Structure 1
Amino acid sequence: MKLIEATEKDIPLIQDLARRSWENAYVGIISNEQIEYMLSEMYSTKEISEHLQNPNYHYYLILDENNNSFEGFIGYEHGYEEGTTKLHRIYLVPESKGKGFGKGALDFLKSKVSESGDGRIILNVNKENSAKNFYESQGYRVYNELVLDIGRNFVMDDYQMELLIHK
């Protein structure tokens, strides 16, 4: 596994990986209409481009070196809060789950957070998403619950989780 920093030219790939992972991860949790709305808002070319122009926001593509295929991506932002990096996005295509890519990406994130000087990682996970169990297995813990109105009568019903980095 190798993580490769994404650039503007990778936006279509990020959009494709997001769609492939979301269509698997969120079916039965949120409606197809909400999936389409969130993908169009959160993964628009404009939105991702703005992230890539932010010096604190980073996207990395997850490459399976054995198959020379991209299996997912991670997007995070240093200094989201004082001393805190926010993991905004980590998605894997369905066929790559259970192969260690998620754990590898979170380990990579921990090292990047340590280098940045932040001492905490936070993330949101849908209350019905089984990824919560994965995060807990990696040392994250729930510290809050959040219902966020995202427009068009849709909400995100999430747990907020954190991992403290020991320096």
Structure 2
Amino acid sequence: MIEITKANTTPDYKQIETLADSIWRAHYIPITGIGQVEHMLKKYQSAEAISKQVEKEGFEYFVLTFDGINVGYISIRKEKEWLFLSKIYVLSDYRGNKIGKTAMQFIEEKAKSYHLKTIMLTVNKNNTNSIKAYEKLGFINVGSVVKDIGNGFVMDDYQMVKRL
């Protein structure tokens, strides 16, 4: 059984920090290298950073649970023209259980509840499996986005959108 629960406490944020550490190290070190992964985990996925994003930047975080085990998380933010899908991650051992698909349905419902007709995300240009998965879900690549994230690192992404 898949459950999606809003994260809004420090213990929730610490759980997401732990999930992020495991997921990001396994998935992104081959793509961006360990230095950038460690920088991004500290800057964006520490419990302190998540708390700031929720309290000051308008992000919402949700924990994904499969059969009672925390296996992933989502982060979204309502923008003027679209719902920004900032993060959707599932532990590799739990992929293939329709968790990501269920999470995307949840995200689409959130967008509709906010009266938004578009979901937008960014994905690393070398993250080919995720790009293919997003395309299967109806997302379209609308161009490149390069963002300086400090310490000599950049996010070199594609921006993808899905119209609802």
TM over 0.5: yes
Deviation at 1:52, TM superposition (A): 2.2
- Equivalent of 1:91 in 89, 92, 98: 89
* Cα contact 2:42–2:49 (8 A) shared by 1: no
* Cα contact 2:62–2:75 (8 A) shared by 1: yes
Between the aligned partners of 1:143 and 1:29, the Cα distance in structure 2 is 21
For the residue of structure 2 that corresponds to 1:28, the secondary structure is: helix
Pick the structure with more helix per residue. Answer: 2
Q: Which amino acid aligns with 2:126?
A: E
TM (normalized to structure 1)? 0.92
Q: CA RMSD of the aligned region, Å?
A: 1.3
Aligned pairs for 1:69-84 (under 5 A) are: 69-79=69-79, 82-84=80-82
Aligned pairs for 1:2-151 (under 5 A) are: 2-8=3-9, 9-54=11-56, 56-65=58-67, 68-79=68-79, 82-129=80-127, 130-151=129-150
* Cα contact 2:16–2:47 (8 A) shared by 1: no
* Cα contact 2:119–2:162 (8 A) shared by 1: yes
Any stretches of 5+ residues in structure 1 without a counterpart?
Answer: none
Q: Which amino acid aligns with 2:102?
A: G
Q: Which runs of 4+ in 1 moved over 6 A?
A: none
* Cα contact 2:14–2:46 (8 A) shared by 1: no
Any stretches of 5+ residues in structure 2 without a counterpart?
Answer: none
Between the aligned partners of 1:74 and 1:17, the Cα distance in structure 2 is 11
Paired residue total: 161
For the residue of structure 1 that corresponds to 2:31, the secondary structure is: coil
Between the aligned partners of 1:111 and 1:41, the Cα distance in structure 2 is 29
For the residue of structure 1 that corresponds to 2:131, the secondary structure is: helix
Between the aligned partners of 1:55 and 1:149, the Cα distance in structure 2 is 19
* Cα contact 1:76–1:89 (8 A) shared by 2: yes
For the residue of structure 2 that corresponds to 1:158, the secondary structure is: strand
Deviation at 1:45, TM superposition (A): 2.7
Between the aligned partners of 1:12 and 1:127, the Cα distance in structure 2 is 29
* Cα contact 1:34–1:154 (8 A) shared by 2: yes
* Cα contact 1:143–1:161 (8 A) shared by 2: yes
Q: Identity of aligned pairs, percent?
A: 30
TM (normalized to structure 2)? 0.93
Between the aligned partners of 1:134 and 1:143, the Cα distance in structure 2 is 16
